[in-house]
Amino acid sequence: MTETTLTPGASAHPTGASEHPTGASARLLAQAEEVRTRFGTPCYVYDRAGLEAAARRALAFPAPFGFTLRYAMKANPSRGVLSVFRDLGLQIDASSDHEVERALRAGFPAEKIQLTSQMPSRRLGEFFDRGVVFNACSLHQLEEFGRLAPGGTLSVRLNPGLGSGSTNRTNTGGPAASFGIWHEYLGDVKALADRHELKITRLHSHIGSGTDPDVWKRVTRMTLDLVAKLGDVAAVNLGGGFKVGRMPGEPSTDLQDIGEHVTRELMAFRDRDGRALHLEVEPGTYLVATSGYVVATCIDVVDTGRDGYLFAKLDTGMPEVTRPSLYGAQHPIDVLATGRDQADVVFVGPCCESGDILTPAPGDPEALAPRRAARPKIGDLVLVGGAGAYCAAMSTINYNSYPQAPEVMLEGDGSLHLLRRRQSLDQVWTNEV
């Protein structure tokens, strides 16, 4: 990664240096106690001002011939979050039929929703009739679309041959990824399109989450080389994946820098090919990651002797923030206490599961990495940051029968507005027969 494409801590700490690693606004820090009193802990809190600011930065992505910003709603499909982006004019990338349904119910018009799914759609015909943009992610999906909607118009997702993610698990391009149609099968794509008289008007690639910006730029060129071979393509979707610094000092992608690079590529393509391509990008993480928090309580403090570790047990862990136990992902953690000495603390969750660790070593979910923090006490409020993306959406809910946590929006005027109630215990077993 280069300095020109990454801005240290740009989005995690938009107001500059903060003594609070989560970068939470003074307002949220002051209101954490109110969150606990009104909604209990653990509780997700989303900061509307942060969501809107990220969307505005992304909407300013440079593009010479038209631009569409899609929100990859898999990152956080909460209706409250969707409606913030709907009101700012964003469109949607949905990753299942169910997400399409959720976006429709959140008020997005069908034609502003794109379906990019690993699972062949069971509602393809209906969605096509309503105007949902179909993004074929395999030759099988393309064939199915051709049979259902001969003569139809669609998008195709290609695996351009190269990927990059913050970990191998989040890399969705290159030979080790099953996502999209392998670029060498372009001939088969064309043959299927010809057989069913399909018009491929968009080409799509998404190469991973937490992508190295330099790789993203290289893939732009590779994708445009593929567009050159498909004469009907008028729009190119370069996916999401923009790396976001969740931890203090960690770099975030500079969208202006990346956008200027893409602009040069699109203009050069127009000079070579004659087509002025409409540009789409579809970030998830970038739009939501640093505007989400989990407000939690320290429920116990234990240690394993002089040569061991000091553990703070929180009432949040893998049921709300699964990424650390899955990828060794790093989330900032604030113990909201003043005047305490500092200690090296391993933060763990409430599950009877040795993997329920909030502070693993970076990229290594099996190793402990104690954090320097205010020495925790039972009852302390604790804030886990960077929890807007792939947390509520990708949680191991109901493990140990803990009910799913509520979601709350911190509004611009400082009020707290409930988006989703805490699951009741009855709801945990309601489908048992």
Ligand X SMILES: Cc1ncc(COP(=O)(O)O)c(C=O)c1O
**Binder among 284, 328, 376, 386 for ligand X (CB under 6 A):** 284
> Which residues inside 207-246 make contact with ligand X, applying CB under 6 A?
209, 239-242
116 belongs to the binding site for ligand X (CB under 6 A) = yes
How many Å apart are CA 80 and CA 78, to the nearest integer? 5
Tell me which stretch binds ligand X (CB under 6 A): 67-75, 317-325, 332-340, 344-352. Answer: 67-75
Q: Which of 388, 73, 110 is nearest to 240 (CA)?
A: 73
Shorter beta-carbon distance to ligand X: residue 31 or 167:
167
Q: Tokens 């989703």, residue?
A: 420
Exposure string of 370-408, with b = 16+ CB inside 10 Å and e = fewer, is ebebbbbeeebbbbbbbbbbbbbbebbbebeebbbbbbb
Q: Tokens 């903060």, residue?
A: 18
261 belongs to the binding site for ligand X (CB under 6 A) = no
Q: CB of residue 259 vs ligand X: minimum separation in angstroms? A: 15
Shorter beta-carbon distance to ligand X: residue 240 or 317:
240
Residue 299: CB partners within 8 Å, gap ≥ 6? 313, 314, 315, 350, 378
Shorter beta-carbon distance to ligand X: residue 93 or 257:
93
Tell me which stretch binds ligand X (CB under 6 A): 28-36, 100-108, 278-286, 335-343. Answer: 278-286
How many Å apart are CA 265 and CA 118, to the nearest integer? 29
141 belongs to the binding site for ligand X (CB under 6 A) = no
Q: CB of residue 428 vs ligand X: minimum separation in angstroms? A: 28
Tell me whether residue 94 is exposed, middle or buried, using C-beta atoms within 10 angstroms of its C-beta: 0 to 12, 13 to 18, 19 or more. buried
Q: CB of residue 208 vs ligand X: minimum separation in angstroms? A: 7
Q: CB of residue 242 vs ligand X: minimum separation in angstroms? A: 6
Shorter beta-carbon distance to ligand X: residue 165 or 349:
165
**Binder among 285, 290, 325, 330 for ligand X (CB under 6 A):** 285
Return the C-alpha torsion angle 324, 321, 104, 130, nearest 10.
20
Q: CB of residue 204 vs ligand X: minimum separation in angstroms? A: 7
Q: What does each C-alpha distance from 291 to 52, 219, 254, 382, 406 come to in angstroms? A: 9, 28, 17, 16, 16
The first and second tokens of residue 82, run together, are 């969707």
CB count in 10 Å sphere of residue 414 = 12
Binding mask 286-305 for ligand X (x = CB under 6 A): x-------------------
**Binder among 10, 24, 43, 72 for ligand X (CB under 6 A):** 72
Binding mask 187-206 for ligand X (x = CB under 6 A): -------------------x
251 belongs to the binding site for ligand X (CB under 6 A) = no
Determine whether 352 is an active site residue: yes
Binding mask 155-184 for ligand X (x = CB under 6 A): -----------------x------------
Residue 147: CB partners within 8 Å, gap ≥ 6? 196
Q: CB of residue 283 vs ligand X: minimum separation in angstroms? A: 4
3-class secondary structure, 289: helix
Catalytic pick from 137, 298, 351, 352? 352
> Which residues inside 345-404 make contact with ligand X, applying CB under 6 A?
389
How many Å apart are CA 313 and CA 64, to the nearest integer? 51
Three-point CA angle 231, 140, 94, nearest 5°: 80
Size of the site for ligand X (CB under 6 A): 18
3-class secondary structure, 199: strand
Q: CB of residue 137 vs ligand X: minimum separation in angstroms? A: 8
Tell me which stretch binds ligand X (CB under 6 A): 54-62, 68-76, 271-279, 292-300. Answer: 68-76
DSSP-derived pairing of the beta strands 181-182 and 133-136: unpaired
282 belongs to the binding site for ligand X (CB under 6 A) = yes
Which residues are the active-site residues? 352
Binding site for ligand X (CB under 6 A): 72, 74-75, 93, 116, 172, 206, 209, 239-242, 282-286, 389
